[in-house]
Amino acid sequence: MTNTGTSGVEHGELRAADLATVAEQLGREPTIPFTVIARCTGGHPLVIRNAPVDAGGAPFPTTHWLTCPDAVKHVSRLEAAGWIARLNERSENDETFRAELAAAHEEAAEDRARELLEARAWGGVGGTRRGIKCLHAHYANHLGGGDDVVGRWVAERVEPVHATQRAHRVAAIDQGTNSCRLLVLEPADGGAEPTELARDMIITRLGRGVDRTGRFEPEALARTIAVIERYCRRARALSAESIRVAATSATRDAANREQLADAVRRAAGSELEVITGEQEATLSFLGATRGLDARDGPFLVVDIGGGSTEFVLGREPAVTEHATSVQMGSVRLTERTIRSDPPAPEDLDGLRAEVRRGIEQAAAAVPVGEATTFVSVAGTATTIKAIALGLGRYDPDRTHRTWLTAAEAERVLDQLIGLTNDERAAIPVMAPGRGDVIVAGAVILVEVMRRFGYERTLVSETDILDGLAFEALGVR
Ligand SMILES: [Zn+2]
């Protein structure tokens, strides 16, 4: 798996509500699939990232597109004042500026080339490789995490776009075994919910091979560091005052984790938090249960990760009472037990045996069966729900806090087992890099439901990442 794109657009995630808002912002139906990668105060889309080609297969010139009407208006004023010509003149006369601009085009081309190889030759900010064509494109590129000298120049002149923008925004990055995720939040008044300014996920497979070698692979490490750097630039562009980076499971076991810590120190300006299994459990519980009705407790939260699975129990939302982490995760178990594609019956027997052992280990530490409400977090459960719903593209608004029945989970598992890695990867709601490990994750989910007699589970899009950000904001 070599996918290192920088946005969730590759797996087609799009909220129906955003589609409607963006159509209104643009004054027309968007002609190309997109994902929202940055939002303004209040939560409306600020920057969208377009798919590389339109429905007819023609390359689309601009990757990042500014959609907030107020932001567009402010930038248009700079263009009307003649700044494109003046900045182009500056790039002719100022060598440093010219080199920085060239680097921004180069980076944008490389970024696009991950989805569309031919774009390496002609791609760049605003669909050009030379000079400055559109200040909106540069500003959007900057907000998306691009290292863009012109985008920064625009930001200094147009921000804050909304006078109502609130201070003390925070960013959290959760570096897991399989994926790297970003969340940027703006605090709200009193008990109101914080506003989500950015949420993103990229599969980097940092934990690949760690189980076997005890080290990060150099390629996986480089890929991950590039994603973290881009996330940190986006977080800063969105005025996050602090960036918290936490790493779980695989990082705890990696001998060369100092390389990751150095990169985080440089990019985020904070120390990498290598969190323990127990901290991981507490943060997952906070992220998953905050806001649920206390009368539905006790709650069990199961977080199926790439390297480990957390079982957390508490009578009230956000307050952990029992927690354990078992070294059983979708990537780890796939590497250990799956030898054939599609998995052979003996692979599945081995997988189930490992999962059952892990569940008994969890049951010995946490009274798993005592919960009234079983909450499932992370990509395995949300993807299974999206498949059960038959969604044509991933929409977290359709899955968050909906029930997945045991019968649905079993049906989807049966379906996934019968497919090859390529066929699973081709399911429209499947995130890149998840197709070959989801069988192991699904077996964990189904076996937990069978073992403790849960007839349904509440699927949650909020998890440890939200827990990290809520804690940084100081909300409970
Ligand atoms: Zn706006």
Tokens, residue 91: 């790039």
What are the beta bridge partners of residue 363? none
Q: What is the pLDDT of residues 228-255, one digit of tens each?
A: 999 999 999 999 999 999 998 678 889 9
How far is the C-alpha of 266 from the C-alpha of 252, rounded, in Å? Answer: 20
Q: Are 158 and 118 in contact (CB under 8 A)?
A: no
* Ligand 1 center–CA 47 separation, angstroms: 9
* Ligand 1 center–CA 276 separation, angstroms: 38
* Ligand 1 center–CA 45 separation, angstroms: 7
* Ligand 1 center–CA 37 separation, angstroms: 13
Task: Quote the Cα angle for 380-212-341, to 5°.
Answer: 50
Tokens, residue 363: 């049951």
* Ligand 1 center–CA 295 separation, angstroms: 38
Which residue carries 């990055």 as its tokens? Answer: 173
Q: Are 317 and 297 in contact (CB under 8 A)?
A: yes
Tokens, residue 109: 């081309």
* Ligand 1 center–CA 36 separation, angstroms: 13
Which residue carries 């359709």 as its tokens? Answer: 398
How far is the C-alpha of 193 from the C-alpha of 458, rounded, in Å? Answer: 20
- pLDDT-based confidence at residue 12 (cuts at 50, 70, 90): low
* Ligand 1 center–CA 44 separation, angstroms: 6
Residue type, 355: V
Q: What is the pLDDT of residues 345-372, one digit of tens each?
A: 999 999 999 999 999 999 999 999 899 9
Sign of torsion, CA 449 469 282 230? positive
* Ligand 1 center–CA 31 separation, angstroms: 21
* Ligand 1 center–CA 376 separation, angstroms: 33
How far is the C-alpha of 414 from the C-alpha of 398, rounded, in Å? Answer: 23
Task: Please give the full DSSP string across 17-55, using - where no structure is assigned.
Answer: HHHHHHHHHHTS--SS-EEEEEE-TTS-EEEEEE-SB-T
* Ligand 1 center–CA 46 separation, angstroms: 6
* Ligand 1 center–CA 162 separation, angstroms: 7
Q: Is the pLDDT of residue 9 over 50?
A: no
* Ligand 1 center–CA 14 separation, angstroms: 19
Q: What is the pLDDT of residues 159-178, one digit of tens each?
A: 999 999 899 999 999 998 88
Kindly give the interhelix angle for 69-80 and 135-143, rounded to the nearest 10 degrees. 140
* Ligand 1 center–CA 71 separation, angstroms: 6
Half-sphere exposure of 259 (CA within 13 A, CB side): 16
pLDDT, mean of residues 93-98: 97
Flag whether the pTM goes above 0.85.
Answer: yes
* Ligand 1 center–CA 136 separation, angstroms: 13
How far is the C-alpha of 51 from the C-alpha of 48, rounded, in Å? Answer: 10
Write the Ramachandran bin of 17: left for phi over 0, alpha for psi from -120 to 50, otherwise beta: alpha
State the DSSP code for 254: -
Q: Listing from the earlier edge strand, what are the strands of the sheet with 273-274?
A: 195-203, 179-186, 169-175, 240-247, 273-274
* Ligand 1 center–CA 315 separation, angstroms: 40
Q: Is the pLDDT of residue 8 over 50?
A: no
How far is the C-alpha of 33 from the C-alpha of 42, rounded, in Å? Answer: 23
* Ligand 1 center–CA 231 separation, angstroms: 20
Min mean pLDDT across 11-20, 278-287, 316-325, 424-433 is at 11-20
* Ligand 1 center–CA 363 separation, angstroms: 48
- pLDDT-based confidence at residue 3 (cuts at 50, 70, 90): very low
pLDDT, mean of residues 105-132: 85
* Ligand 1 center–CA 67 separation, angstroms: 8
Q: Are 108 and 146 in contact (CB under 8 A)?
A: yes
